[in-house]
Structure 1
Amino acid sequence: MRRPENAARLFDSAKEKPVRRKPGGAEPDQPARARAERLPESDAAAQARASRDPVQIGSIISEEGRRIERPRRERPEVPQGAELVREVNNRFIFRTDNTYFIERPREERFIIDAREVYYEELPRSRQREVVVRPDGTRIVTIRNRWGDVVRRVKILPDDREIVLVYVEDDYYDEVLEWRDPGLDLPPLDLDIPVRDYILDAEWVEDPEDYYTFLDQPPVEQVERTYSLDEVRRSARIRDKVRRIDLDIINFEFGSAQIPESEIGKLEGVAEAMQRLLKENPGETFLIEGHTDAVGAEVANLALSDQRAEAVATALTNVFDIAPENMETQGYGEQYLKVETQEPERENRRVAIRRITPLVAPVASSE
């Protein structure tokens, strides 16, 4: 895989703007950089540090809840240290530490064609959403007071529960804070070939490469399971897993619609995702949207989020990838692949990461 002469830094966490420290706040420990020889051999090996004791996960529906009406589409409660800047197409744009971030209050893809959807209020200001599919499968999601997903389980018609997302109770309070958990980690500096960390779809000749690449474990240890929102917000945490750059999808300028002629380009990666899901129905994939640096930063952020959503929707509608196995997030122009302020096709891309080992205990998701 070639890299352009003006390629940006390899890791997204190395591209971020410096974080403003609170006055008197302690600097995070920065131990020696992670090295290539520490590459875990499996998801279980990557989680070994976090799962010294077996995780006992009770049923997600065992806790009694009080049925409530569907929550109205209201702007989310803004955590301390963040500022709500704008609402764009049912998306809310925040600013924190000089960086913009976009969120959606609910994942509407999950409820399309549902037989029933209902909501329950749980203790500690949490909400439980239950989406019942036509075949009886239930997708159960628990959110904390900020709307962050802290548990998600797929319950099959035979009542078997497949864990998709799990954050231990001890971390609920930490999830409430708008804080990057990657600040506590050392810089990632792996001495491995770029092609082993980033797969450019443009250079894929054998579709089998998608499966082989996505099936690889994280590139370093996973300290604990993280919430989906922690993974979305933290480039350093996302850097733990490899990524596929789908820069073969050509969006029209300023558009989030995928031309019909481009849909077929998703077939190779879709087949790899299907194969992985057949082996483990608990897999979770993050679909990232990125833009070049042309245009307003806030507008690019909204556009990138819509493009990520469009790819996830296509993967469901055309290739039958279940929506609950995909998360989407737009990052706009924040993580350029090529360092330029000019129009650049390689920056207008969608990326895919398999984030399963970041968000769920391996023993529970398999």
Structure 2
Amino acid sequence: MTFRSRLFATVALPLLSASLIATPSLADALSKPFEVAQESSDEGQPSEDELLLKQQQEEQRQAEEQQRQAEEQQRQAEEQQKAAEDQQRAAEQEAQRQAEEQKAAEESAQPAAEEEQPRTQKERKGKKRHQQEQQSEEQQPAEEQNAVGEDTQRQAEDQQRAAEESAQPAEEEQQRPKKERKGKKHQQQQEQQQTEEQQPAEEQNADTPRQAEEQKAGEESAQPAEEQQPSQKERKGKKRHQQEQQQTEGQQPTEEQPAMTGEGTPAETEGQPSTAEQPMDAEQQPATAEGGEASGEKKAPAVVETLSEEQKQEIAADPSKTDETVVLPVENGAAVLDSDKDADNAGGQKSRDQRRKKREELRAEEEAAPMPESDVSAQAPISDEVREALPQRIDAAIKEKGERLDAAPVFEVPQTTNVINNTVINNTVVNNTVNNNTVNNNVTHVNVVEKVDNRMVLSIGNQLVVRGDDRERLRHDSEEVYYDNLARGRVRETIVRPGGVRLVTIYNRYGDIIQRSRIGRDGDEHILVYAPDLGDDAPRPDFVDVGYELPPMRLRIPVRDYIIDTSSDPDRDYYDFLAEPPVERVERVYTIDEVKHSARLRDKVRRIDLDTITFATGSAEVPMSQARTLRKVADAMQKVLDKDAGETFLIEGHTDAVGSDKSNLILSDERAESVASLLTDVYGIPPENLQTQGYGERFLKVRTQSAEQQNRRVTIRRVTTLVRPVAQN
């Protein structure tokens, strides 16, 4: 081997072999970036399986849509066929009726035909043929409608069959192994959810013109029958006219003509089931008050406020110069008088106009009657004979022998009452009739809606009422309590306090207070509640608003002298305010229950709005920081009691309009009881001098259905002159 050969074998050959080996490796290394780039670019594109899945889903959606359309068309075809059958049946009945009439006419005309020249057979045949043609023409629309219905039904069946055939791929997809479907299930659910969300709007948009066409076709096909039955058409037109007239005049629809919402369902309506409200069952009412959901869409009363703020301020400064409804000069201020609030809620603007006219008629009489200057002059005179007999009658009830009970009695709930608690509008009672100020009462059932602790919510006619039992509050610091059954279904409660002070109350069988007296250590008796005009033997109606017998009240003093807001008028002399007499004459002495149930009676006396107590939404708790704001009011009340220990104050609880009527009534009664207990526990006001009642949202201070702090309040009135004879000075 030559030197050159050895050199090639030892040097060149290994280099050549290495290059041949390195070439494939280098090629692989250089091709890697291209493969990575290709893979990364393929990630943004759906795979064949995904494309196939989407295609199958789209086919399935189209199949379902076609099936839905087929079912809809089939339903429409059935409706059209039914309508056509009805029209055909009506046409056949009409034809039969005409044939019978024709037969009767021919029979009645036969004697005359024998006397006159008989018609030719040809004329009779022509007339008969003409009648048959006319009947055939009348039946033709119904037959054509029937044929159209059959064609539509046949088309619907064909489309449904096609939809079932197109839906087979979707069924085959569902039969694939579970492992293949599981990875795609989430995506299918998302797409199906989007399709379902879009479908209602599409169906609604699609159904609207189709329903219009169906209605038009139905009217055209029904035209012959309407021509043959004009009386039915006239009745429908008359009924529609009555409904429009009722809506225009703001009347309540009758049972045959229910009010309808925009969705075609009967309209629904917290304090009064719209004092035109319908009470709902406990199951239908939300369980929460104020902060909870409303019992239905509620609208503010239909009252048109046309006065400017300056005009409202001017009227509030001197209401005697106007016969208009006086409203609070604040934004959305409600009527000042609670009886006007009731009227606004029941009758709206129409009620205001009627009450203004009534006030105009009575203006001369009211101006002739002077404003009361004292409690004695405010009360209608009580005969000397009755006044002298009062102490003996009251003492007799206290000393009457009775049968001792082992436990506190449970009062009955009346099954019926004599009057529905409605609102007078110009001497007209809703659902009742007033003639010459005499109410013709309708018997109304009383139902217990719910019982919560010592309260029950009653349904009376179209209104809910909360009825509390304050006996537990009256037992404050008592040493002994006992009960005696008396004659005529009465019950006597005696509460013995330290030092021998006794509180004696006579109740009737329903828990209404007949009389209440406090007998001191020295034997002195202070009458708190007693209505001599009724007496022990007089029938006592239940839940009667006797204020409906009175004309609308006209306020004749400035609003600031009629209502005090403790927050805006903190430096006011509350004693002078509480000592003021009623603002108009008191016709007789009323029971405390009559006062509680009549806004018109309560309007006779002034009120203090404790708006420094800002109740939290849905709460009846009074924080101690706010309890201190009651000191001046409590001091004024104690000063009144020091002068006459038989004074009675009514504590009223109110809520805003958020929440259910039932829950708000309970909450408002709890608020009234909380303030009464605070006045007793903190400031020493005797509990027997305090009466409580909740009114829910019935008497809003600000007219709004939204949450409003000013509506969550408690009000205090001195009602002594209304519930007992005033001692002569």
1:320 maps to a residue whose letter is G
RMSD value over aligned CA atoms? 2.3
Matches of 2:669 and 2:542, distance apart in 1: 23
Aligned pairs for 1:122-271 (under 5 A) are 122-168=486-532, 170=534, 173-207=538-572, 209-271=573-635
The 1:259–1:63 alpha-carbon spacing in structure 2 relative to 1, beyond 3 Å, is: same
- Which residue is 1:327 aligned to? 691
1:13 aligns with 2:345: no
Indicate the SS of the match to 2:362: coil
Matches within 5 A, 1:68-147: 68-73=405-410, 76-80=413-417, 81=444, 82-147=446-511
CA distance in 2, matches of 1:133, 1:351: 29
- Percent identical: 48
Change (3 A) 1:75 1:91: farther
SS in 1 for 2:484: strand
The AA in structure 1 aligned to 2:544 is: R
| Deviates most, 171-180 or 325-334 | 171-180
Conserved 8 A contact 1:50-1:223: no
Give the superposition deviation at 1:61. 1.4
1:275 pairs with 639, 644, 654, which one? Answer: 639
User: In structure 2, do the counterparts of structure 1 residues 358 and 149 end up closer, same or farther at CA, with 3 Å as the change threshold?
Assistant: same
Q: 8 Å contact 1:164–1:283 — kept in the other structure?
A: yes
Counterpart in the other structure of 2:230: none
Preserved CA contact (<8 Å) 1:49 1:222: no
Instruction: Specify which structure has the higher proportion of helix.
Output: 2
Q: Aligned partners of 1:361 and 1:342: how far apart in 2?
A: 42
SS at match of 2:647: coil
- Report the AA paired with residue 331 of structure 2: E
Q: C-alpha separation between the residues in 2 aligned to 1:3 and 1:248?
A: 19
- Alpha-carbon distance in structure 2 between the residues aligned to 1:48 and 1:219: 14
Instruction: Indicate whether 1:44 and 2:384 are aligned.
Output: no
CA contact (8 A) 2:411 2:509 kept: no
- How many matched pairs? 355
Match of 1:26 in 2: none
The Cα of 1:18 is off from its aligned counterpart by: 4.3
Question: In structure 2, the residue corresponding to 1:230 is in which secondary structure?
Answer: helix
- What is the deviation of 1:171? 5.2
User: Which stretches in structure 2 are left out of the alignment for 5+ residues?
Assistant: 1-315, 317-327, 348-357, 418-443
Residues 654 and 697, structure 2, Cα contact 8 Å, conserved in 1: yes
Report the Cα offset of residue 175 of structure 1.
2.8
Displacement, 1:289?
A: 0.3
Q: Distance in 2 between matches of 1:62 and 1:74?
A: 22
Counterpart of 1:337 in structure 2 is 701
> Residue by residue, what CA displacement relative to the aligned partner does 1:307-353 show, whole Å, maximum 9, x if unpaired?
10000000000000000000011101000011000111111110000
Deviations 1:259-293 (A, max 9, x none): 11111011010000010000000100000000110
Letter in 2 for 1:13: S
Cα shift at 1:87: 1.2
Check conservation: 2:412, 2:511, Cα contact below 8 A. Answer: no
User: Is the 1:79–1:178 contact (alpha carbons within 8 Å) kept by the matching residues of 2?
Assistant: no
Normalising by the residue count of structure 1, what TM-score does the alignment of the two structures yield? 0.91
Find the aligned partners of 1:134 and 1:191 in 2 and give their Cα distance.
46
The letter for the 1-side match of 2:590 is Y
User: Structure 2 length as normaliser, TM-score?
Assistant: 0.47
In 2, the alpha carbon distance for the partners of 1:307 and 1:214 equals 21
Q: Which moved more, 1:252-261 or 1:323-332?
A: 252-261
Aligned to 2:258: none
1:3 to 329, 348, 351: 329
Matches within 5 A, 1:27-42: 32=362, 35=366, 38-42=370-374
Q: Which has the higher strand share?
A: 1
